[in-house]
Structure formats: structure tokens, C-alpha cells
Amino acid sequence: MKEIFADMHIHIGRTESGRPVKITAARTLTLDEILIEASEHKGMGLIGIIDCHSPEVLAEIEKGVSAGRYTELDDGGIQYKETVLLCGAELEIYDDRCRGPIHVLAFMPTIEKMKEFSEWLSQRVTNIHLSSQRIYETGVGLQQKVKALGGLFIPAHIFTPHKSLYGKGVKSSLKEVFDERLIDAVELGLSSDTHMASHVSELNAYAFLTNSDAHSLGKIGREYNKLLMKHASFTEFSLALKGEAGRKIAANYGMNPQLGKYYQTACEKCGSLKEAHDATCTSCGSTKFTKGVSTRLEELYDQDESPVKRPPYVHQVPLQMIPGIGPKTIQKLKRAFGTEMNILHHVKREELRDTLRPETAELVIKARTGEMQLQAGGGGTYGKVKRG
């Protein structure tokens, strides 16, 4: 088995013609640039691009395969150099059973299956060319279609206050909206981790994924998974989610939840973080707050300890968030050591100290294991890493 790093939630900002796909994503997030960044700079062996339902994106993938730049694998996925792309789609469910909108990810095994899925979606969304579209179909109906096509169904960033399963979508249980038998895994999101999510008993049945939800090239790999598989492909990924035939999720790597945008409850008016006992904002007097993930999870907790033995969750600070490390320093590190995965996992302390100032090298070492002082985020503002 091989250790393969995987980030399964990456958006496309524009097609090669310049057509918008994810409106809020960077224009540089094109198919080709994502594959180059993931393979040559980040060191990701498996990625999920979750805007492949867009017809122009599908056409670009087929064009790349025809030209020999990419290769479609027999067991699912598109190979580019050392990276395999799985074709995915992010969709928004808001049916009669939902209390609020829910984002989900669907992955298809082949280009042909994604084309079939795209055609089906085009009759149920307002604009098939755009990302994260609301689908006019029930959650269970979407699940059944994904399964009929041999796909994978994964609720996205499940605790985020806006547009997520537990953030807005349900009162207390995923069974309010979904068929629990047709879920393959759940994505935790930036403001939670395995320890926090393991207190929710109905999640015991599902694998946990940690992904970047990248809206720019630099954000690819800010959270990721270490998988044990024979090679990167759709079939192997499916086995890893089930923990079958020796394949498995070996570890999750993510930012400390305090660095997420929605870890703590915050005032909607001024952004000040809310203390548990406060009924009004101590800064501006407002009574309207965005409920933080940590607060929401306290409402959902129904078990002290999970019976499931989970892979280790490693708190890791991305290179871009380390104080004193800017773009020039990152390029210097990449010239010396290759990909970011190599820098974060394999380069020795002595090698880092030979390349960087000693104090900066030590920050990189601390970033690997989350040993840095943090300032918690909330209300849409990321937490911060302190120099101390």
C-alpha cells in the first residue's frame, strides 16, 4: 500500500474560455493550474474538483484526455503526472425537509457518468455552468441518483453555520433530510476536528474527511487526508472510505479548529466574539449572533466517547499562515525541498535550519504538529497564529 495525500474539495474559478464557475473563487483556479499546483507544488496524489458538472469543465477534461495531457484510469479518475483527479460536484439542497440549505459533494467514477449526472442536473438547477447551485430535488432523490450512477455522496463542511447539514439544515439528526444508508463519508470543515465531531453518535457510521474547500491555488492542501491505497483512483478511494481490503484513511491533517472562520459565536454586527453568558454584544449591544461551530456541537453532543477507533487528527498550520513566512520564503523552500507535503512531513529540522533563519525553521517544525499559540476565529473571520 502507498501513502497518498488527498484534498477532495477544490473549486474551479474560471474555465479556459474565461467563463465563471465558482464566482467567489480566484480566476487563476483553472483546471490546468489546479493540476499543476496539486501535483508539482503541493504534492497531492489525489484531488477532488467539485465543479466537474459544468459542461465547459467536462469539455476541458475530455480535451486534455484526447490531447494526451491526461489519462482516464480504468478504475476511475483522471491522471496528470503524479496526481489523480476525481470528478465531483458541489450542490445545495433545500427541500421541504430542510430547515436551511445544505451543501453536499457527489463524486462520479468516470467522465461519462459525470456527463450523465450533469445532464440530469441541468433539468434541476438554474444554471448548470455554475458551482454550488441549488438543486430542485429532494435530498434523498439526489442520493438515489448519485448511487444509481455508481457515485459517492458526502455532506460538506457539516457544522459550518451557513449552508451545512448541522449548521442550518437539520435540528438534530441527518435522518431528517437524508437516507443514512446512502452516505459514504462526511466532511468536517475548517472549524471542527475529529475530537469535536466524535461526540455525535450518529456520525459513528461514517468516515471523516478533512479538505481545503480551496477558493484559490494557495489554499489547496490547507486541510487534507493521508490515505493508504494501492494507487490513487475512484475505486481505491471508495475502498479507503469503507476501510476495506487494507485501504483506509490513515490520518487527517487540518488546521486547529480555532483557526477556522466559525469556531466561536460572534456578533453579526461588529464581529466581536461572544462569551457564553452574554445575551448582548459587549462591544455594540447587538443581540444577533452567528452561532459558532463549538457552540453548535455542544448542542449536538450525545456521547462522551465514541466507540469508533478513528485515525489520528493532526493539527497542522499551513505554510501560508506561519508568521514570517511569505511567498518568497515559500518559493525558497520549494526550490530546496520540492512540494509542500515534503516540507511539512519529511524535511529534517537540520535541513530547514540550513535553509531558513533558525527561529523561522523552528516555526515550521511547530506548525507540523500544531504547537503554536492561536487566537480563535468566529463570525466569518479566520483565527490567527501568534508569534509567541
CATH of the domain at 333: 1.10.150
Domain boundary among 257, 285, 311: 257
No. of H helices and E strands in the chain? Answer: 11, 17
Domain boundary among 242, 257, 272: 257
Kindly report whether the global pTM for this prediction surpasses the value 0.85: yes
Look at the alpha carbons of 370, 8, 169, 130 in this order and tell me if their dihedral is positive or negative: positive
Residue 263 lies in a domain: no
Query: Per mean pLDDT, which range of 65-79, 106-120, 166-180, 275-289 is the poorest?
Result: 275-289
- Same-domain status, 354 and 210: no
- Same-domain status, 106 and 223: yes
Residue 365, pLDDT score: 87
Residue 313 lies in a domain: no
- Same-domain status, 204 and 120: yes
- Same-domain status, 80 and 160: yes
Counting residues of the chain whose pLDDT is more than 90, the rounded percentage is 76
Q: How far is CA 10 from CA 46, 178, 272, in A?
A: 11, 24, 30
Q: What is the pLDDT of residues 4-49, one digit of tens each?
A: 999 999 999 999 999 999 999 999 999 999 999 999 999 999 999 9
Q: What is the pLDDT of residues 93-146, one digit of tens each?
A: 999 999 999 999 999 999 999 999 999 999 999 999 999 999 999 999 999 999
**Res. 275 pLDDT band, cuts 50 70 90:** confident
Q: What's the number of domains the chain is made of?
A: 2
- Same-domain status, 12 and 93: yes
Domain boundary among 257, 278, 308: 257
Instruction: Provide the grid cell at 142.
Output: 439526489
Q: What is the mean pLDDT of residues 261-280?
A: 85
Residue with grid cell 456521547, as numbered in its chain: 303
Residue 308 lies in a domain: no
User: Alpha-carbon distance 91 to 220, whole Å?
Assistant: 20
* Cβ-contact 64, 255 below 8 angstroms: no
**Res. 387 pLDDT band, cuts 50 70 90:** low
Residue 304 lies in a domain: no
CATH number at residue 93: 3.20.20.140
Residue 156 lies in a domain: yes
pLDDT at 191 over 80: yes
- Same-domain status, 323 and 253: no
What is the maximum span of the chain, computed from C-alpha positions, in angstroms?
Answer: 62
Range of the domain at 358: 319-379
Residue 388, pLDDT score: 56
Q: What is the mean pLDDT of residues 369-377?
A: 81
For the chain, what is the mean pLDDT?
94
- Same-domain status, 72 and 180: yes
pLDDT at 377 over 90: no
- Same-domain status, 222 and 327: no
Q: What is the mean pLDDT of residues 210-234?
A: 97
